[in-house]
Structure 1
Amino acid sequence: MNEVHQQILRQRNEILQTWRKLHSLAEPSWKEKETSGFIREKLRDQGLPVQTYENHFGLTAEIKGRKPDVIALRADLDALVQEVNGTLRPNHSCGHDAHSTMVLHTALHLARCAGRLNHTIRFIFQPAEEKGQGALQMMKDRALDDVKLLVGIHLRPRSEIPFRQAAPVIIHGSAANLTGVIKGTPAHASRPEDGNNAIEAAACLIQTIRGIRLKSSHSHSVKITELHSGGNATNIIPDTARFTFDMRADTNEAMEELMEKALQAVEKTAEWTGTAIHSKVEDFLPAASFHPKAVDVAKNAIVSTLGEQNLVPVCRSPGGEDFHFYALKNPHIASTMIGLGCDLQPGLHHPDMTFNQEALTDGTEILTKMVLQADPLEW
């Protein structure tokens, strides 16, 4: 494994150049054309066969092994769209450019092992993670066919994992949005008895939802994140209000209960206030599930790369990740997501997010060693 370390160190400048290119390409969900094209050409230049798709810019590449069972690495392609210095534009503030860089260079390194691997190694570059839809699309396109082990990697804020440390598993919670429209009755503000104030109904809904308590002891949160009335006149009782509640829970079971109670709160509020409320739950992301054997292999790769003293046993994150759809829909697959310490600050999704790019070689080495250590095992 020391040979792997030396070879990846020699690739350091190329790895950094790849990241700079992908960082400059930043493209939003479902529009990752240039990003996908750059990665596709890099893979093909190394002689790897690439599978593309007609209806999106995701792609997969493979190194054939002696048997069809697959070990897969997954990266995400898309950037956030957010305001940066007063301008709304795509911005890589979640580290997807780094994830794609590390998985790409793992593929380029392992291409040298063609013909010597037991398992087929598949590299999945998925679109639209930020929309929570890319993993589902890749599964529809059969990117998980024959996969026995699936591993992802994600940059972590320094408040979670220090630089040059890593965790073999990230425990994300479940997330979802409750969105809706309240319809009341408009009236002049001097005759409020003639109307039914949608904003007052929204205030009632907020208090009702804040009072939700789950039967289980699992932690959860639900909070108003968006509220807009239908008009801007100061002397009119508004008849329309649009709302969004952000919902979080540490397990899928707790999220299911939370969603059910939130929808019940909507029904009760509509009844109490005499309004019509049309609502739905959307943007669901499942909580993490992981396989102990996958975690053990990731742990060994981290220790081999960074040393026992730099192993963080587990990373717990309040955020969500569509990577976990893969395990939710395919519980027979061993999977885990590695958390990489990289001095990331001030935080994920912050428009000014930065990280220490030296961590890219750490992540590439961890992924490469993990595949090589997993390959002789039965999955």
Structure 2
Amino acid sequence: MSTAFVAPEDIETETLEAAVKARHWLHRHPEIALREYDTTHFITDQLASYGIETRQQTASGSADDRSDHQLGTGVVADIHGLQGDGPTLALRADIDGLPLAENADHPFASLNPGMMHACGHDLHTASLLGAAKELQGHRDRFRGTVRLLFQPAEESELGAQKVLAAGWLDGVDLIVGYHNHPGLPVGTVGISSKAIMSGNYRFDVTIHGKGAHGSRPEDSADPIAAFTAMSAQIQTIVSRNVSPLEPVVVSITQVRSGSAWNVIPSDLEFHGTARAFNRHSAELIQERLTRIVQGVSDAYAVRSDLDWSVRAVPIENDPDLASALARSAESYALHVIEPQPSLGSDDFADFQHSGIPGLFSFIGSNGDPGASGWHTPNFEAKDSALPYAIDYYTHAVDTLLA
């Protein structure tokens, strides 16, 4: 197999071809959060072929095989440099796909019905496998330890928190990761000392009213009418409480109620997400949402339950790491940019907030006019982004473990 692009001089052609082949296999076989069993086996087998032994742990803390560690899926492994003792640097890639049917005609489209890599985690995983192969073959270039973290369940199920609880990052001094960005051209690497992805907050509301026949609305405590009022007021949380210069989003995304066209239902549930780059804004949204739900419920004689949960905190990059890796990127990237922040989120932030200095960046993966964004059936990350992603990892090691 040969790639459709030229490998950079510092990446072996064999490594890049293996990474492309791995990426295509992963894309054909997407698996959703905490069910990435075949993906886990594939990663483990690939690492073994490079002479890298995985180090999963059972709940009791003793070493065991890949099928019986604490999380059930995901892979962690170490590569020890030959230049002596030094820090432990974790390189992270997420491995899960999404419950979304793919609309693509390329030869490595998903074979798993209703599932696809609509966020490019297959690219992330393949690039870390490529970096692992390079680093294992050049251990004389660095000191300390590189910890390879193939994280499950980034899209849901709080995978980063589970990884931390399992102790997979115990002893790690620094951590580096990235996300592909279809809006940026291939060859672009975006590195910033600022927050580049927002916090992700979920709200779930259930309105308990009183049902009645549609011909007798006076007998009801109508949850639909209450929801309509709540929805209108929720739209003012940002517009009337947050400066227009500050990026904040509140969106209602799901509404469920009723089972008959002529009956006013007794209950209604709605769900949504909020995005913010700082704790103050997140707390303001939660406080205003709580007051709106309670106030409208009282006015409409219904009772409501509100649950607010933190799905991911904002990315907070370490300025020293950002500066060092931005300078390093100039040696391999076509364009090194200060990226525009995204109101998307990534639980890589949990590693940073646990006290591990970290850097999370964007790597251009498409850039074509009209390229589909993350979490869409037509999402496409290009193979040609792989060498830049591999270089991002290996240059991080060269820079931080020199």
TM-fit CA distance, 1:300: 2.2
Tell me whether 1:111 sits opposite 2:129 in the alignment. Answer: no
Tell me whether 1:94 sits opposite 2:119 in the alignment. Answer: yes
TM-fit CA distance, 1:48: 1.6
Matched residues in 2 for 1:100 and 1:85: separation?
A: 22
Among 240, 245, 257, which residue is 1:229 paired with?
257
TM-fit CA distance, 1:85: 5.4
Among 325, 332, 357, which residue is 1:305 paired with?
332
Q: Does the residue aligned with 1:326 lie in a helix, a strand or coil?
A: helix
| Aligned residues between the structures | 367
Q: Does the residue aligned with 1:324 lie in a helix, a strand or coil?
A: helix
Contact 2:47 2:129 in 1 (8 A): yes
Q: Assess, with a 3 A threshold, how the Cα gap between structure 1 residues 148 and 139 changes in structure 2: closer, same or farther.
A: same
Tell me whether 1:372 sits opposite 2:398 in the alignment. Answer: yes
Q: Which piece of structure 1 moves more, 142-151 or 77-86?
A: 77-86
User: What TM-score do you get using the length of structure 1 for normalisation?
Assistant: 0.91
Matched residues in 2 for 1:303 and 1:220: separation?
A: 32
Determine the structure 2 residue equivalent to 1:245.
272
Determine the structure 1 residue equivalent to 2:320.
293
Matched residues in 2 for 1:315 and 1:151: separation?
A: 19
Q: Does the residue aligned with 2:9 lie in a helix, a strand or coil?
A: helix
Tell me whether 1:202 sits opposite 2:202 in the alignment. Answer: no
Contact 1:300 1:370 in 2 (8 A): no
Contact 2:200 2:276 in 1 (8 A): yes
Matched residues in 1 for 2:251 and 2:362: separation?
A: 27
Matched residues in 1 for 2:280 and 2:129: separation?
A: 35
Output aligned runs, 1:1-379, within 5 Å: 5-52=9-56, 53-65=69-81, 66-67=84-85, 69-84=87-102, 89-114=114-139, 117-131=142-156, 133-158=158-183, 161-169=184-192, 171-212=196-237, 213-214=240-241, 218-232=246-260, 234-282=261-309, 284-307=311-334, 310-330=335-355, 333-343=356-366, 345-376=371-402
TM-fit CA distance, 1:109: 0.7
TM-fit CA distance, 1:4: 7.9
Amino acid in structure 2 at the alignment position of 1:206: S
User: What TM-score do you get using the length of structure 2 for normalisation?
Assistant: 0.86
Q: CA RMSD in A?
A: 2.2
TM-fit CA distance, 1:339: 0.8
Matched residues in 1 for 2:164 and 2:267: separation?
A: 39
TM-fit CA distance, 1:112: 2.0
Which structure has the highest strand share of the two? 1
Q: Does the residue aligned with 1:81 lie in a helix, a strand or coil?
A: coil
Q: Assess, with a 3 A threshold, how the Cα gap between structure 1 residues 315 and 211 changes in structure 2: closer, same or farther.
A: closer
TM-fit CA distance, 1:215: 6.2
Contact 1:177 1:244 in 2 (8 A): yes
Matched residues in 1 for 2:171 and 2:120: separation?
A: 28
Identity %: 26
TM-fit CA distance, 1:205: 1.0
Matched residues in 2 for 1:133 and 1:124: separation?
A: 15
Matched residues in 2 for 1:357 and 1:98: separation?
A: 8
TM-fit CA distance, 1:115: 5.5
TM-fit CA distance, 1:23: 0.9
1:326-351, Cα deviation, whole Å (9 max, x unpaired): 11222xx2211121112152111111
Q: Assess, with a 3 A threshold, how the Cα gap between structure 1 residues 199 and 88 changes in structure 2: closer, same or farther.
A: farther
